[in-house]
């Protein structure tokens, strides 16, 4: 397939230049070893075929990196993701093979999706890790952060680390979620923008990472969640239905954490399920069920009093 614009040239229009200035963030390129049909109509989106087994211990290993960088990534993952999943995320230096392998030796951020991570080393690149200014503490040690570290969109909480490890747990890009009221793209402006710096993607990559909607049959998730940490930030000109655009989000949204808990339930959790087929959302159904039962009981009390007590 080739681009409708062939060479996918950057536009010379003033509008596109404004868009590019607004989009001075380097975005993640999630990639799949397993091929899935990307087209279709699905807040967090998980690729069902790539989920890790429930209660699995995941060994995570760095293949390079300075001590402060590795400590920062471990801190971000253990404080932000581990509390929500019934998996054991274990950073290790052992020589044994790991499930997720991380390299910092790249100018990009990317990750394989879920179980695909075991198919390549490294499975994740973290070209930037959005560290705090100054220093941070982890496991009783204080680590100094170099002053010139890149922070995507100015975030200093490890937003990119959370996003990439979201992919490693099976999460896909929220802006490609087809459920609810998804984004309607202005394709031409999307191509123009992502052809340009800092991403410089070709047309097929832009289609894969931005425009193509995910398949509702191969993914789990709830309605489109603009607060998800798995979404890119977009100026409004790239869409036809969101004039104010979408801001990138540095933290897991409530939808993200809900679906992480449902997908990887802890022992004894109310989310425990034998199946990953989790629609509609169980918490909403349960609330409705309880409310209906309360109304039925109140109705019986009223009928009893009217008919028998008087
Ligand atoms: Zn991503």
- Where are the domains positioned within the chain? 14-263, 281-310
Overall average pLDDT of the 105-124 stretch: 91
* Tens-digit pLDDT profile for residues 127-156: 999 999 999 999 999 999 999 998 988 899
Between the CA of 162 and the centroid of ligand 1 the distance, in Å, is 10
As a whole number of angstroms, the distance between CA 209 and CA 201 comes to 10
What is the β-pairing status of strands 45-47 and 219-221? antiparallel
For residue 80, which of 256, 270, 232 has the smallest C-alpha distance?
Answer: 256
Cβ pair 248, 231 in contact under 8 A = yes
Q: How confident is the model at residue 37 (pLDDT cuts 50, 70, 90)?
A: very low
What does the angle CA 282 – CA 277 – CA 55 come to, to the nearest 5 degrees? Answer: 90
Overall average pLDDT of the 48-72 stretch: 95
Higher pLDDT pick, 141 / 172: 141
Cβ pair 188, 172 in contact under 8 A = no
For residue 175, which of 217, 201, 214 has the smallest C-alpha distance?
Answer: 214
Listing DSSP states for 96-159 in one string gives S--SEEEE--SSSEEEB-GGGGGGSSSSEEES---PPSSEEEETTEEEEPPTT---GGG--S-H
Between the CA of 164 and the centroid of ligand 1 the distance, in Å, is 6
Q: What is the pLDDT of residue 49?
A: 83
Listing DSSP states for 95-107 in one string gives SS--SEEEE--SS
Q: How confident is the model at residue 85 (pLDDT cuts 50, 70, 90)?
A: very high
Q: How confident is the model at residue 194 (pLDDT cuts 50, 70, 90)?
A: confident
Count helices and strands (H / E) in the chain: 7, 9
**The pLDDT of residue 302 is above 60:** yes
Q: What is the pLDDT of residue 222?
A: 74
Between the CA of 76 and the centroid of ligand 1 the distance, in Å, is 17
For residue 200, which of 18, 27, 17, 14 has the smallest C-alpha distance?
Answer: 27
Residue carrying the six token digits 């009928």: 303
Between the CA of 256 and the centroid of ligand 1 the distance, in Å, is 14
| 3-state DSSP helix/strand/coil % of the chain, to nearest 5 | 35, 15, 50
Between the CA of 68 and the centroid of ligand 1 the distance, in Å, is 23
Chain centroid to Cα 174, Å, comes to 6
Q: What is the pLDDT of residue 268?
A: 64
As a whole number of angstroms, the distance between CA 23 and CA 233 comes to 8
Between the CA of 167 and the centroid of ligand 1 the distance, in Å, is 7
Between the CA of 36 and the centroid of ligand 1 the distance, in Å, is 17
Q: How confident is the model at residue 290 (pLDDT cuts 50, 70, 90)?
A: low
Between the CA of 10 and the centroid of ligand 1 the distance, in Å, is 23
**The pLDDT of residue 231 is above 60:** yes
Report every protein residue that has its C-beta within 5 angstroms of ion ligand 1: 28, 30
Between the CA of 92 and the centroid of ligand 1 the distance, in Å, is 24
**The pLDDT of residue 120 is above 60:** yes
Between the CA of 270 and the centroid of ligand 1 the distance, in Å, is 29
Overall average pLDDT of the 101-119 stretch: 91
Q: How far is CA 193 from CA 30, 226, 307, in A?
A: 18, 20, 71
Q: Tell me the percentage of the chain whose pLDDT exceeds 70.
A: 76
**The pLDDT of residue 257 is above 80:** yes
Question: What CATH topology corresponds to 14-263?
Answer: Collagenase (Catalytic Domain) (3.40.390)
Overall average pLDDT of the 151-169 stretch: 93
Q: Give me the residues paired with residue 219 across strands.
A: 47
């Amino acid at each position: 397939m080739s681009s409708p614009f062939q060479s996918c040239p950057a536009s010379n229009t003033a509008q596109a230049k404004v868009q590019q200035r607004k989009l001075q963030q380097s975005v993640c390129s999630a990639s799949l070893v397993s091929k899935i049909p990307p087209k279709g109509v699905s807040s967090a989106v998980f690729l069902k075929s790539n989920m890790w087994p429930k209660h699995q211990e995941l060994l995570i290993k760095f293949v390079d990196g300075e001590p402060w960088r590795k400590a920062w990534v471990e801190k971000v993952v253990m404080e932000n993701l581990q509390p929500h999943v019934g998996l054991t995320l274990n950073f290790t230096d052992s020589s044994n093979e790991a499930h997720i392998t991380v390299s910092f030796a790249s100018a990009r951020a990317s990750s394989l999706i879920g179980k695909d991570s075991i198919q390549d080393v490294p499975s994740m690149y973290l070209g930037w890790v959005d560290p705090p200014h100054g220093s941070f503490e982890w496991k009783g040690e204080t680590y100094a952060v170099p002053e010139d570290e890149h922070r995507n969109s100015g975030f200093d909480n490890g937003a990119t680390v959370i996003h990439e490890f979201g992919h490693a747990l099976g999460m896909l890009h929220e802006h490609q979620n087809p459920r609810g009221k998804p984004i309607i793209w202005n394709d031409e402006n999307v191509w123009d923008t992502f052809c340009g710096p800092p991403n410089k993607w070709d047309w097929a990559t832009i289609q894969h990472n931005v425009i193509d909607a995910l398949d509702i049959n191969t993914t789990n998730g709830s309605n489109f969640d603009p607060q998800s940490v798995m979404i890119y930030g977009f100026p409004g000109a790239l869409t036809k239905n969101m004039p104010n655009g979408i801001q990138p989000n540095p933290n897991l949204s409530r939808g993200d954490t809900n679906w992480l808990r449902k997908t990887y339930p802890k022992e004894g959790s109310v989310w425990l399920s034998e199946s990953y087929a989790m629609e509609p959302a169980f918490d909403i159904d349960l609330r409705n069920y309880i409310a209906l039962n309360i109304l039925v009981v109140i109705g019986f009390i009223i009928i009893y009093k009217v008919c028998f007590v008087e």
